Amino acid sequence: MSLELLDAHETDEGMAVTFATERGIERLEGSPDEMARLARAMQQVAALGALNEHERVWIEEVAVGRSLVKLGLSPGGQARVMILHDARRAEHDPEE
């Protein structure tokens, strides 16, 4: 996963975390619970990435504050990440 943690600190609202990504410097602000969900999802995707040889697919979306972090797999055992700021998680109708 092309994601390097640069900084993490507490804020009045919860936590702020700054990452270096392929797209540049990305800052996320959210609650401690949201950050914990993101950390667990990142660990799971990294573990799956090591087993993946050919698939290119998004497999997880984690809401962190007003941002949405998409985690997925790329061919060759790589994980991938995309951070969408000011995004709202789309609610999908299970009947669709």
**What is the rounded average pLDDT of the residues 59-80?**
92
Domain boundaries, the chain: 3-84
Main-chain phi, psi angles of 48, to 5 degrees: -65, -35
- Pair 9, 39: CB distance under 8 Å: no
Burial, 43: exposed, middle or buried (Cβ in 10 Å; 0-12, 13-18, 19+)?
exposed
Indicate the helix (H) or strand (E) that contains 26: strand 24-30
- List pLDDT tens digits, range 8-58: 999 998 999 999 988 889 999 999 999 999 999 999 998 888 888 888 999
pLDDT at res. 1? 56
Show the CA angle centred on residue 88, arms to residues 46 and 45, nearest 5°. 5
Q: In the predicted model, what is the mean pLDDT of the chain?
A: 86
- Token pair, residue 96, equals 């669709």
* Residue bearing the bigger pLDDT, 87 or 18: 18
Whether pLDDT at 93 is above 50 = no
* Residue bearing the bigger pLDDT, 1 or 44: 44
Burial, 79: exposed, middle or buried (Cβ in 10 Å; 0-12, 13-18, 19+)?
buried
